Chains A and B, each alone.
Chain A
Amino acid sequence: MSTHLDHDQQHTTTEPPVLTPQHLGPAAQGASSLTATDVSCWFGSRQVLERCSLSMEPGKVTALIGPSGCGKSTFLRTLNRMHEVVPGAKIAGTVELDGQDIYGEDLGVTEVRMAIGMVFQKPNPFPSMSIRDNVLAGLRLSGKSAGDKDTVVEESLRRAGLWNEVKDRLHDGGMSLSGGQQQRLCIARSLAVHPRVLLMDEPCSALDPISTRVVEETVIELAHQITIVIVTHNMQQAQRVSSQCAFFLVEEQKQPGRIVEAGDTATLFTNPKDQRTLDYVTGRFG
């Protein structure tokens, strides 16, 4: 009986438009490559990441997977210099955006964060601002002139897949939206400053399945345009949205996290080189 119900339900659900990494064209023009070399991280004297190297290719989605506490979020935060926001946080190694060291003297930290945007785990729109002002907040914060503001707002919200839902209430507070909408608003806010790379730290972990699907579709759409690095706990999600994948692991407690294996997502999930990767992707632990 119950199987029958499940069967029925599957058929009555309208399928979303199929968009998978395999359907993507060649790397988007103007997207940037991001290369981390021997990145190690500390919080105070405790080392949490050890010599992580990863090349994130232009116009592709790279997923960072691994169990909780393995340092994937920390690694992500080193990619746009958010790691150092935490007092006492330190870093070694280099991160290059199109060959330019983001920790070097030539780039200021605000320039780096404008070029490499970030979407956080919990939707965090600015509570005192309207939807429209949230989208424009990045431009205001960085002192960039917005050009035609209405165009920027519409374009960014369209790219984040939120325009149709909010176009009639742009002046409502950002907090009046649902969780999934708030997260897409945060994506739109990041896109408004035209970053070359977008980092996403478990962007769907606070969302319901339907909102998750919409955000995933947004990610896949955006991969045409910019380079995306996404941290996820959800292995199906990694398979759905990414073409490259890196597996992080802490082998023993109190040891720093390392990248065990990185490469093509399909290969990593079906034919990994390392036994530990196989154990993880097949759900034997984690």
Chain B
Amino acid sequence: MSAISPQVPIRPSDRPSRGDRIFRGFTVGAAMLALVTVLVAIVFLANEARPALSSTGLKNFFTTTIWNGFIGQFGILGVMVGTMIIATIAMIVAVPAALSMALFINEYAPRKVGRLLTSVVDLLAALPSLIFGMWGRDAFQQKLVPVARWLSDHLYAIPFFRLSATDVVLVRSSFVVGVIVGIMVIPIITSIARDVMAQAPRDVCEAALGLGGTRWGMIRTVILPFGRSGIVGGILLAFGRALGETIAVALIIQLTFDINWHVLEAGGSSVAGLIAVRFGEATPLERSGLIAAGFALLVLTFCVNLIARRIVKRGQVK
């Protein structure tokens, strides 16, 4: 009896055509470009930030609020917290408004109105943030004073809304900037959320209605769970934008380096705003400090992304 020799598995080979190889080369190159850009940016930032970091010390950099370019002290704790405060206020304003807007366009609006709104929202997304900044500083800011007053009078229980004195100024605050940045990022969330939620399978939506569900019931059981990861993605994008918003912040805020928990009062800060305000007149050492702050912002954005991705993953169905 002759033994059967064991089979050797192989991968069938394919000779792609010249055109295919060239195209493939292009795509590889483009993909690499993204990677290289990130690497170059990180190397540049780390390199430029080194003088400031070695003069102030890594621990002081993250844990103090003193900023002095002449003695080489750079503490960004207040600025980092300020950045988070502004971005958080922006999200509190933007997320409910944007999701409601997206749902209205998809589920409630007559088709024509929906289409009109979609293009208006897209137009809004294309508006430069400088416009928002100028409008916010010269027109909208004053309108927010009564709102801030009302919040401090009625929502006194929330520590953030307390005022440190009765005669404080209620403009040029984190609150004003947060609201304006929030309005700015509404179109980003709206257009992504609308796109994703429009993909919800129609037959499953009908199942919800057919069971006697209300329209809100259908939205809650089918559309929102379906759109979940896309919506979170849109919010993240907007959050990143809010963290990095520069012009609107620089135009409006009264820059401080301390942590200002009184969000309704004048004085606040953000990394991007700080860089915009100080970069022009900075000494070489302070410039290095500003770049270090920018680097910290990059790391913060990265961490936020990582956390959000975890959240999305946890909610997925088997």
Contact = CB atoms under 8 A, between A and B. Distances in A.
Given A137-B221, A141-B217, A193-B212, A128 B226 contact: yes
A129 B111 CA distance: 31
A113 B203 CA distance: 16
B211 interface: yes
B295 to A, nearest CB: 40
Contacts of A113: 209-213
Contacts of A111: 212
A118 B203 CA distance: 12
Given A127-B317, A128-B317, A141-B221, A193 B211 contact: yes
Interface residues of B, number: 21
B128 interface: no
Contacts of B201: 124, 127
A111 B206 CA distance: 15
A124 B214 contact: no
Interface stretch (A1-9, A16-24, A80-88, A260-268): A80-88
B155 interface: no
B277 interface: no
B202 to A, nearest CB: 9
Contacts of B203: 120, 122, 124
- B contact patch SS: helix
A142 interface: yes
B120 interface: no
B213 A142 contact: yes
A87 B212 contact: no
Contact of A141 (B213, B226, B318): B213
Interface string B180-214: 00000000000000000000010110111111111
Interface residues of A, number: 32
B232 to A, nearest CB: 14
B207 A126 contact: yes
A140 B217 CA distance: 8
B207 A173 contact: no
Contacts of B210: 80, 82, 113, 117-118, 120, 190
B233 interface: no
Contacts of A138: 211-213
Nearest to B201: A124
Contacts of B207: 120, 124-126, 186, 189
Interface centre among B111, B221, B225 (most CB of A within 10 A): B221
A98 interface: no
B222 interface: yes
Interface string A84-101: 010100000000000000
A124 B212 contact: no
For B208, B211, B222, B317, which residue has the most chain A Cβ atoms within 10 angstroms?
B211
A87 B225 contact: no
B228 to A, nearest CB: 8
A172 interface: yes
A114 interface: yes
Nearest to A115: B212
A110 interface: yes
A114 B317 contact: no
A171 B295 CA distance: 46
A110 B213 contact: yes
Given A87-B111, A127-B317, A120 B214 contact: no
Interface string B274-318: 000000000000000000000000000000000000000000011
A175 B317 CA distance: 10
A118 B207 CA distance: 8
A176 interface: yes
Q: Which of A111, A122, A126, A176 has the most CB atoms of chain B within a 10 A radius of its CB?
A: A126
B212 A142 contact: yes
B82 to A, nearest CB: 38
A186 B211 CA distance: 10
Interface string B42-56: 000000000000000
B318 A190 contact: no
A110 B226 contact: no
Nearest to B212: A114
B318 A137 contact: no
A137 B209 contact: no
Interface of A: 80, 82, 85, 87, 110-114, 117-118, 120, 122, 124-129, 137-138, 140-142, 172-173, 175-176, 186, 189-190, 193
28 contacts: A82-B210, A85-B206, A113-B211, A117-B210, A120-B210, A124-B206, A125-B204, A125-B207, A127-B201, A127-B226, A128-B221, A128-B226, A128-B317, A129-B221, A138-B211, A138-B212, A140-B217, A140-B221, A141-B208, A141-B214, A141-B218, A141-B221, A142-B212, A142-B213, A172-B318, A176-B318, A186-B207, A190-B210
Given A85-B209, A126-B204, 16 more contacts: A82-B210, A111-B212, A114-B211, A120-B210, A124-B201, A124-B207, A127-B225, A127-B226, A128-B317, A141-B211, A142-B212, A142-B213, A172-B318, A173-B317, A176-B318, A193-B212
Closest A-B pairs by Cβ, 6 of them: A114-B212, A141-B213, A138-B211, A128-B225, A118-B210, A141-B217
